[in-house]
């Protein structure tokens, strides 16, 4: 059995899905196993020089500020958020290593890896090629899959699409860092194989509602956290991650976050209530 | 040891673990330090666990101890309260060694700059039914089993050792 892992590394909330377990790689599971990659993807550099990605990196002390000693040096922690922008730029050197570390963390044990990618104009064929070329020497097989197509296939698989919908249009809205990605796909029945249906795609989708991107929402939530805890604005401690955690529902109002001050002591931060007007 | 009050502890930070293909000096993992930092909400305290430090502080390295644990209070300006130092020692024959507690006290007296609050030597127990324990102020020699009374009695001895380093207000 080829062990396939499907990844959504969107740098905000990463997810991996597979139908096998690391412990029993040859048993196919009935329901997909979802691996939570955590919020706000980062990669960290260990003292061995290796980059680590995924949930272990998020939890690491590396790069979290001088309160954590030499390992707290901010050069040891890189956010993946500007990373995909790096893919589009001319500076893909460390980008490859960091993206690779994240893929390795989430696709451990896989033979085949499917990377889901945005179906919008600025993730064009040149960018797709650059993403695949990161792994050109990898023994695993890598494929790209457009996110709306992945969602469509899932909808077909779980019978969310009615039987007689041949020719109907389906609209997919995918929340991303810089807005909402909108794509419309048509359901087509294969004339030679009546049992087979597939999405028909007519060019790239669009990015709409740019002011509702996860980056903007997280930034505004973070500003609310700083307003409620003015000590954060003084730059004496590691960065709070409550903003993103609040808008993703991982934390609620009144929750406590422990942060390390630059002098190695600790303080307590309280999550404020975030009203609609705040974000 | 991480088990101590773990049910009520929150993980603040943990070093990524590298699983080695061969053991290195008895360990199958490699990592940076601190290995883990926990928050105890009830006590409002931080517990930091350091294991096999590669370059320990000069005051600590003379003790050649693999495990260093320290506590810190949230919102306190004094930082950490002092070190708990632990030597886990494997021996084929379980049980305590005569005179080890006295020796441990003598060693601790030579290095006061390491600010060691209590120190413990752990050895395997000779049976699963009971653990041996010798204790003085600030030092503990203890045998630890893998199950039954030898495990649970030992863990409560360790809990006692740790909580005895806290002020009454911290224990609650």
ipTM score here?
0.82
Q: Are A51 and A75 in contact (CB under 8 A)?
A: no
Contact between B157 and B142 (Cβ < 8 Å) = yes
Measured on CA atoms in the order A196, A201, A202, A203, is the torsion positive or negative? negative
- pLDDT above 80: residue B27: yes
Per-residue pLDDT at B117 exceeds 50: yes
pLDDT, tens digit, 9 for 90 and up, residues A57-96: 999 999 999 999 999 999 899 887 665 655 555 555 577 8
Chain B CB contacts of A61 below 8 Å: 13-15, 32, 34, 37
Residue of A nearest to B80 (CA): A265
Smallest CA-to-CA distance from A54 within A75, A78, A38, A34 is with A38
* B46 vs B92: CA distance, rounded Å: 35
By CA distance, what is B17's nearest residue in A? A56
> Which one of B10, B11, B13, B72 makes the best mutation probe of the A interface by having the most chain A beta carbons within 10 Å?
B13
Tokens of A3: 């062990």
Single pTM value for the model:
0.85
The average pLDDT across B121-142 equals 90
Q: What does the pLDDT read at residue A93?
A: 59
- For A191-250, the pLDDT digits (tens) are 788 778 889 999 999 999 999 999 999 999 999 999 999 999 888 999 999 999 999 999
CB contact under 8 A, B79 and A263: yes
Selected residue of B16, B48, B78, B79 to mutate for chain A interface (largest A Cβ count, 10 A):
B16
**What pLDDT does B3 receive?**
47
Q: Among A177, A28, A51, which residue's Cα sits nearest to residue A104?
A: A51
Chain B: residue nearest A59 by CA? B13
C-alpha distances in Å from residue B91, one per residue of A89, B26, B119, B147: 58, 13, 19, 17
Q: Does A50 touch chain B (CB under 8 A)?
A: yes
Flag if B79 and A265 touch (Cβ within 8 Å). Answer: yes
**CB nearest B74 (choices: A57, A264, A266):** A266
pLDDT digits (tens, 9 = 90+) for B89-107: 988 888 898 999 999 999 8
Q: Which residues of A touch B80 (CB under 8 A)?
A: 264
Measured distance CA(A77)–CA(A57) in Å, rounded: 8
């Amino acid at each position: 059995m080829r062990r396939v892992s499907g990844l959504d590394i969107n740098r905000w909330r990463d997810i991996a899905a597979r139908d096998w377990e690391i412990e029993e790689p040859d048993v196919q599971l009935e329901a997909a196993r979802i691996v939570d990659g955590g919020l706000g993807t980062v990669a960290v550099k260990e003292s061995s020089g290796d980059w680590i990605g995924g949930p272990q990196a998020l939890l690491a002390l590396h790069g979290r500020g001088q309160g954590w000693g030499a390992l707290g040096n901010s050069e040891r922690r890189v956010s993946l958020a500007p990373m995909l922008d790096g893919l589009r730029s001319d500076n893909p050197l460390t980008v490859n290593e960091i993206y690779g570390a994240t893929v390795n963390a989430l696709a451990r044990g896989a033979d085949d890896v499917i990377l889901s990618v945005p179906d919008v104009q600025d993730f064009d064929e040149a960018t797709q090629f650059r993403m695949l070329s990161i792994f050109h020497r990898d023994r695993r097989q890598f494929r790209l899959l457009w996110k709306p197509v992945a969602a469509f296939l899932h909808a077909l698989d779980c019978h969310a699409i009615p039987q007689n919908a041949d020719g109907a249009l389906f609209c997919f809205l995918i929340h991303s860092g810089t807005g909402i990605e909108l794509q419309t796909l048509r359901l087509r029945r294969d004339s030679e194989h009546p049992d087979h249906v597939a999405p028909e795609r007519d060019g790239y989708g669009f990015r709409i509602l740019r002011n509702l991107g996860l980056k903007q929402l997280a930034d505004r939530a973070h500003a609310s956290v700083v307003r409620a805890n003015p000590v954060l604005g003084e730059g004496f401690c590691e960065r709070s991650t409550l903003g993103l955690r609040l808008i993703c529902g991982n934390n609620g109002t009144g929750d406590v976050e422990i942060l390390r001050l630059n002098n190695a002591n600790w303080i307590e931060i309280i999550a404020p209530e975030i009203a609609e007007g705040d974000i | 040891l991480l088990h101590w009050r773990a049910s009520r502890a929150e993980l603040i930070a943990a070093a990524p673990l590298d699983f080695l293909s061969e053991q290195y000096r008895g360990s199958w993992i490699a990592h940076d330090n601190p290995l883990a930092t926990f928050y105890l909400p009830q006590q409002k305290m931080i517990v930091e666990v350091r294991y096999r430090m590669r370059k320990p502080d000069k005051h600590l390295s003379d003790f050649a101890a693999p495990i260093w644990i320290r506590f810190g209070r949230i919102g306190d300006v004094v930082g950490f309260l002092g070190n708990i130092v632990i030597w886990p020692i494997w021996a084929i024959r379980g049980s305590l060694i005569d005179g080890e507690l006295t020796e441990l006290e003598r060693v601790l007296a030579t290095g006061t700059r390491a600010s060691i609050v209590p120190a413990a030597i752990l050895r395997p127990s000779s049976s699963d039914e009971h653990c041996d324990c010798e204790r003085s102020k600030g030092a503990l020699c203890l045998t630890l089993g893998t199950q039954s009374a030898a495990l649970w009695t030992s863990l409560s001895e360790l809990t006692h050792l740790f909580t005895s380093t806290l002020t009454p207000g911290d224990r609650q």
